Homo-oligomer: A and B are copies of this chain.
Amino acid sequence: MLAHTLTRPAVDPVFVRSLQAKIPEVTDSLGSGGPCRSCHPRTTCVPTGLSDAEFDQFTGLITTHRRVKTGQAIYRAGDVFKGIYLVRSGFIKTVALLEDGREQMTGFYTGGDVLGIDAIGSVDHPTDAVALEDSDVCMIAYERLEQSSRDVLALQRYLHRALSVEIVRKQAMMVLLGSMRADERVATFLLNLSERLMERGFSASEFVLRMSREEIGSFLGIKLETVSRVFSKLQKTGLLEVETRHVRIVDIEALRATVHHEVA
C-alpha cells in the first residue's frame, strides 16, 4: 500500500523546458517503486479508478523502461509485437510506409499516451514509432496485460478505452483528411495540439512544435510548402504568431471559426 505516497506532481508549466531539460530522474523513480509512480495520470494512460492494490498491479505490469534519443525507433513496422508502450515523457511519431516509399504520419504521441496499441491483434507492428525528441517510454508486455485485464475489471476497461481512443482519433483524422481544406486541417491540428497540451498542464496558447513542416504535412495530407503557406496566412490575418517552431495562438476563436468555414 504505497499508493498514498504517490507523487503525481504538478506538471511542468514551461512547455519549452521539455526541449532542454529532458529526461527527469528516471532511474531514481525506478528504484523507488516503479516508473509509473511519477507518471501523470490520464484517461488515456494510467487508469484512474484503481484501488491501491490495483494500481500496484498495474505498475507491476511494466516490463521494460526505455529511453530513446531523438530519431531513434521504439519499434519498426514488421517488428514482433511484444507489448504496448506508455509514453512517460517526450514526443513520438508513428509512420506508415507504403511500398513505393511514400510515408504517412499516422499519429503523434506524448506524455500519458498509449503507443503501439494498433498491433494488439497482430503478430507484428504495422507502423514505425520514432522519437521526435529524447523520450521515455514504459512497455507493458501484452501477455501480462491480457492476463491481468481478465482478473481486474478496471484494467479491462482501461485497455478497451485506450483502444477506443485510438479508433476515435483515427476516425477523426479520416474526417479531416477526407473533407477539410488545407487551412482547416492546419487549424484543427493546432487546436488539437493546444488542447492536449492544456490537458497536460502546459500553455494552450503558446507552444513549440516538435515536428518539422514536412511531418506536419505528412500527418495532414498536404505538402510542407502548403503548411508553411497556411502558417504565414494565419499570421498575416492575425490569428497566429509563428516563428519557425514556436507558435502562439492569438485568436483562438477565429481559429476555431476557420475550421467550420462558412461557405460564403
Q: Which residues of B contact A260 (CB under 8 A)?
A: 98-100
As a 0/1 sequence over residues 123 to 165 of chain A, the CB contacts with chain B under 8 angstroms (1 = contact) are 0001100000000000000000010011101001100111111
Q: Which residues of B contact A179 (CB under 8 A)?
A: 98, 102-104, 218, 221
Q: Which residues of B contact A98 (CB under 8 A)?
A: 175, 179, 260
Q: Are B171 and A121 in contact (CB under 8 A)?
A: no
* A173, CB-defined interface residue at 8 Å: yes
Q: Which residues of B contact A118 (CB under 8 A)?
A: 164, 167-168, 171
Q: Are B162 and A218 in contact (CB under 8 A)?
A: no
Q: In the complex this chain forms, how many copies of it are found?
A: 2
Q: How far is the CB of A18 from chain B (nearest CB, A)?
A: 27
CA distance in complex: A171, B127 (Å)? 9
- A:105-126 near B, CB below 8 Å: 105-106, 117-122, 126
* A166, CB-defined interface residue at 8 Å: yes
* A245, CB-defined interface residue at 8 Å: no
Nearest neighbor of A164 in chain B, beta-carbon distance: B121
* A177, CB-defined interface residue at 8 Å: yes
Q: Which residues of B contact A150 (CB under 8 A)?
A: 149-151, 153, 156
List, sorted by A's number, 17 A–B pairs whose CB atoms are closer than 8 Å. Answer: A98-B175, A99-B260, A106-B175, A118-B168, A120-B164, A121-B161, A121-B165, A122-B164, A126-B168, A160-B163, A163-B164, A163-B167, A174-B174, A174-B177, A177-B177, A177-B221, A179-B218
